[in-house]
Structure 1
Amino acid sequence: MYLDATYPYELAGAAENSGARQRQEAATAHREAIRQRLFEADPEGWVLIGPDGSMSQRAEQTLAACRAGADRIWGAVLPVEVDTGRRGRSEILLRDTVRGGYIPVIVVNHKVTDPGQGATTSGLFEWKPAVDETRKVRSQVRDQMRVAHLFRMLERHGLASPAQVAGAIGYGGDCILVHDLTAVLDEYDARLTDRVEIARGRTPTKPSQIGECRTCPWWDRCRAELTRERDVSLVASGQRAEVLRELGVHTIDGLAGWEGAPPEVWPQGPFEDAVVIAKAWLADAPLVRRYRHVHVHRADIEVDIDMESFHEHGAYLWGTLLNSGPESEYRPFVTWDPVPTDDEARSFAEFWTWLSDQRRTAERRGKTFAAYCYSRSAEDKWLLSSARRFRGFPGVPPESEIKAFIGSPEWVDVYQAVTDQFVCPNGKGLKKVAPIAGHHWRDDEAGGEASMSWYREAAGLDGEPDPSQRTRLLEYNEDDVIATKILREWMTDRAVLEIPHIDDL
């Protein structure tokens, strides 16, 4: 925040982060879809603050609509506050017809509730908050701070509802989650005070690595400074670094030389791993073995699997790599109809039928069988979800059959094998670990975030479908399953020879 305020021109010239751009595009598409639904349900009930004009002009339009008593405003912009620097936009302002004032409602492209009970929600088309026995709140502190921010800005103009509530429409767009602001306003006010002091240079700051650094335009500058100082946050980021500094450990060298019992409170993962990561950083070791021997389950017939989904809309591609001897064969099962679509049931059924045939063939021949993925949570989710959503479609298995498979030893998570047997200083993602085993992706931009943008073009969500992006996605998926194969084979054959043991550091 200090750098943003001090060097605005340098910030304006920073290269755009492709992942952030893709998330913004997806969020924009989601907001527009929600707007269309609301406006189609009641075309005359809304005041629209359009995207044309300056921010100050749109803020004037918003205030005028509020003072005129508009019931519902879309695209609200609030005036910039010179003294605090606050600025804010709320997708929706709802007039509180009981107490007066306005209730801010934001539209976000992530889940705001989970199955459960106890959340307070309202329907999309009429503000009637009530306890929902089918949903529980999914904690989203960022959302809470944003709506508290909007409430305070409305309050400054005498436009905030005395009810001190706000709303959030999340992914799926089937309800409004109601936030009770009385529980968060004090925390918001404290955070704002801190940020204003930092932005104005009255509170000294130093860089420290946190999760968001990788998408920050200032990261190159901060990383260089942290590296010069051998700062401990490079190997123990976020709250872990704060704990270590409170204990007098400020450098990687200090953490690597730790002696004695671990800290009484350690925020994330085994403390012993943090010490090993510090030693690995000093030794420039990309991985460290926990054990003298490395093992991953192997079989006579092996299939590597990687699924591609588009947000929460559906799983459009199940990629497979069949290894039954010296040869490997990549086979994708895909639908290019924009998900969600019933054609997804066809591609999923074809994938499951093919996989089941491989398992039966192995059994008939007296061979062992194993299917591999990297970080099974996403594959498990879409296997189960697809069986539930498409129950009754031709070839779609019952959910019990899916559960039996994912609970069997034939379903192997290579990510878990890596986690159990290695300390990974640079992260455990497939893109981080597989290159150590010798694998490289054909596309320099390959990654989950990039694939979302490619899919939009491949499926024609914003125009005509682009066949070249379909090819790009298939090659990316093929490279992922090949990476899993190479990684597990490397673990079997060479990892012990190439990766140092903890005791060797």
Structure 2
Amino acid sequence: MLRASDLTRCRHRIHRAATLPRGVALPEESGSVAQRREAAADHREQVRARLSEDHRRHNPRETWAEDVHGEALAAADPAARPDRVWNARLPRELDTLRAGGVDLLIRDDDRGGYIPVIVVNHKVTDPGSGAATSPMGAWAPRADPHRKMRGQTRDQVRLAHVTRMLERLGLASPARMGGAIGYDADCIVAYDLGGPGGILEQYDARYADRQAVARGLVDTAPARVAECASCPFWHDLTGPDGRTVDGCGTVLRERHDVSLVATGHRGTMLRAAGIGTIDRLAAWQGRGPDEWHGGGFDDTVVSARAWLVDEPLVRRGPRVTVPRADVEVDVDMESYQEHGAYLWGTLVTDDGADLGYRPFVTWDPVPTDDEARSFAEFWTWLMRLRDGALAEGRTFAAYCYSQNAENKWLLGSATRFQGYPAIPSVDEVRGFIESDHWVDIFEYVGENFVSPRGRGLKVLARFAGFDWRDDDAGGEASMAWYREAVGFDGDAPALDQRTRVLEYNEDDVRATKALREWMSDEAADEVPSVDDLPVPGEAELRAIEAALG
């Protein structure tokens, strides 16, 4: 069966699922996937509770129903159908392969039928104008002067999928509209699904293709895309007879497939240019093919050459440079989804002396006003340290690894808590992050190295000899620890998990320090340069490609 989520997934994944031999068990979903699923379920439940309570208070004459089967809804007298249906369970369509359900159905009193509304755990609007939105308690879409729509293809596909299933039951509104309640849950974003070339027509073409794949009528081939990181078919599987079912990763490595170093649309462009193997890409000389767009072609060639000799890091030039200072502060922030930043971890180095780790934290579940207190304390401390160093004629630098997350919460906290004690202005924060005192080590890694295996801190800090104390350390895992640490699910706060979060955060700032110091002192001697990598010749290429078939 095909659910709406399948329509925005890799086509080959659908083929693998449809042709999986009997008895082959798929691995359990990763902790990060399970956590995202749980967070989405929590969000839906919060929205359900709010909507049902608001409906009871403000619309007592209208009816609210939950967990209704689509067949029962279709069989009911139209006049007796509920005005709102939460968690409508739609029947599987064995002939079309469609399966799915919908979070909320809102009765369209003007035209008959229902408007489908989905609840998603991501943002569906941004500040601006041009979106059509409706109040949460009613279906009354109108132009919104304060919001612009985010282009969420997966949401549009899901609404179209449900609409086709409602049409089959005779329950769809002829308005051909749908809605989405996003993370902020402050409105319903309205989508017009109909019209020539509109969402429904695009969905129909996409669905016909995926349906053909599922039925084995269309051939597909593996290629590495972002989805592979969480796909159960990437790794080898084992059947009940002990036989190995090769995963896509194994197949691609055996073929030296170019998508291993040029994922997604870049791999597609290279194939269009006749470059299907890593070897052929590694041998490329001169400017990139005409089909290549978006920059970075030279780095992709270097990555191919590095892959052939299993080199995980390559130096661009003879020297490695990264800013250093008399007083250095490594900073790492921890947030919980979009709720807030609950921890700012710091590590001070003064003229080479490690002065230790200091966290600024709130253990009140975010969002909370206590977040303003911990952020203000962190900011006041950091600015005093900076101003004190500069007043003494010494240099100062604060470091983070990939500033996008830290900048988001620096600016976001200053905006949200404006007027609270010791909270800086947005202009003050922006001035700091745009100054030379705020250094993103991620950017300097990119300026100095080509990293075929990615530029993640967990990957690169190990070149500096650093490792994390916790084998499960990672952003997704830390969110699970945080839930237990603050009793997010109603349990008593787990003090051991607070320690685990703090140790993870401390290891992150120490990893940043270790990496930048290694870059300053040893990297140029230890990491091979671009010029050190071998380039396959034409005769070697022909031999390799003959062996690969």
Give the TM-score category using the shorter length: over 0.9
CA contact (8 A) 1:62 1:78 kept: no
Structure 1 residue 261: deviation in Å? Answer: 3.0
Which of 356, 362, 367 pairs up with 2:383? 356
Corresponding position of 1:391? 418
Report the counterpart of residue 437 of structure 1 in structure 2: 464
Say whether residues 1:189 and 2:204 are aligned partners: yes
The answer as to whether partners of 2:343 and 2:361 remain within 8 angstroms in 1 is yes
The answer on whether the counterparts of 1:75 and 1:92 sit within 8 Å (CA) in structure 2 is yes
Gaps of 5+ in 1: 51-56
Return closer, same or farther for 1:320/1:249 CA change in 2, 3 Å cut-off.
same
Indicate whether 1:457 and 2:472 are aligned.
no
Deviations 1:210-255 (A, max 9, x none): 1001101111111011111111111111111111112221111011
User: Is 1:25 the counterpart of 2:53 in the alignment?
Assistant: no
Measured in 1, the distance between the counterparts of 2:192 and 2:26 equals 39
The letter for the 2-side match of 1:354 is W
Cα distance between partner residues in 2 of 1:267 and 1:139: 22
SS at match of 1:160: coil
Match of 1:238 in 2: 264
> Could you tell which deviates more after superposition, 76-85 or 57-66?
57-66
For structure 1, which segment, 388-397 or 94-103, has the greater mean C-alpha deviation from structure 2 after superposition? 388-397
Counterparts of 1:12 and 1:146, CA distance in 2: 28
1:294 equivalent to 2:320? Answer yes
The answer as to whether partners of 1:455 and 1:469 remain within 8 angstroms in 2 is: yes
Distance in 2, Cα, partners of 1:363 & 1:261: 46
1:290-330 CA distances to partner (integer Å, 9 max, x unpaired)? 22111111000000000111111111000001111322410
Question: Shift in Å at residue 98 of structure 1?
Answer: 1.1
Q: Secondary structure at the match of 1:295?
A: coil
2:26, 2:232 within 8 Å by CA — same for their partners in 1?
A: no
Q: C-alpha offsets along residues 160-209 of structure 1, whole Å, 9 cap, x if unaligned?
A: 11111111101110011111212211221111111111112121222111
Q: What is the correspondence of 1:83-482 to structure 2 with a 5 Å cutoff? A: 83-182=95-194, 183-220=198-235, 221-324=247-350, 325-462=352-489, 463-482=491-510
Q: 1:15 to 1:36 in 2, by over 3 A?
A: same
**Alpha carbons of structure 1 residues 66 and 459: separation in structure 2 relative to 1, 3 Å:** farther
1:488 alignment counterpart: 516
1:52-81 deviation digits (Å, cap 9, x = unpaired): xxxxx8444454568542211000111101
Where 1:219 maps in the other structure, the secondary structure is coil
* Alignment TM-score, normalising by the size of structure 1: 0.95
**Amino acid across the alignment from 1:92:** L
Gaps of 5+ in 2: 1-13, 236-246, 534-549
Distance 1:394 1:273, change over 3 A: same
| Contact 2:52–2:64 (CA under 8 A) maintained in structure 1 | no
The Cα shift of 1:439 comes to 1.5
With the length of structure 2 as denominator, give the TM-score of the two structures. Answer: 0.88
Q: What is the Cα deviation at residue 8 of structure 1?
A: 7.0
Say if 2:273 and 2:291, in contact at 8 Å, map to a contact too: no
Q: Secondary structure at the match of 2:338?
A: coil
- Find the residue that maps to 2:353 and give its secondary structure: coil
For residues 267 and 211 of structure 1, the distance between their equivalents in structure 2, rounded to whole angstroms, comes to 18
Q: What is the match of residue 49 of structure 2?
A: 36
- Contact 1:113-1:135 within 8 A present in 2 as well: yes
CA RMSD of aligned residues (A): 1.6
Distance 1:204 1:288 in 2: 37
How far, CA to CA, are the matches of 1:71 and 1:267 in structure 2? 50
Classify the secondary structure of the residue corresponding to 1:241.
helix
Asked if 1 retains the 8 angstrom alpha-carbon contact of 2:342 and 2:362, the reply is yes
Which deviates further from its counterpart, 252-261 or 172-181? Answer: 252-261
DSSP 3-state at the match of 2:32: helix
CA distance in 2, matches of 1:363, 1:448: 34
Change (3 A) 1:95 1:427: same
Please say if residues 11 and 217 of structure 1, whose CA atoms lie closer than 8 Å, have aligned partners that are also in contact: no
One-letter code aligned to 1:304: D
Separation (CA, whole Å) in 2 of partners of 1:357 and 1:472: 29
Cα contact 2:270–2:292 (8 A) shared by 1: no
The one-letter code of the counterpart of 2:496 is S
Report the AA paired with residue 170 of structure 1: G
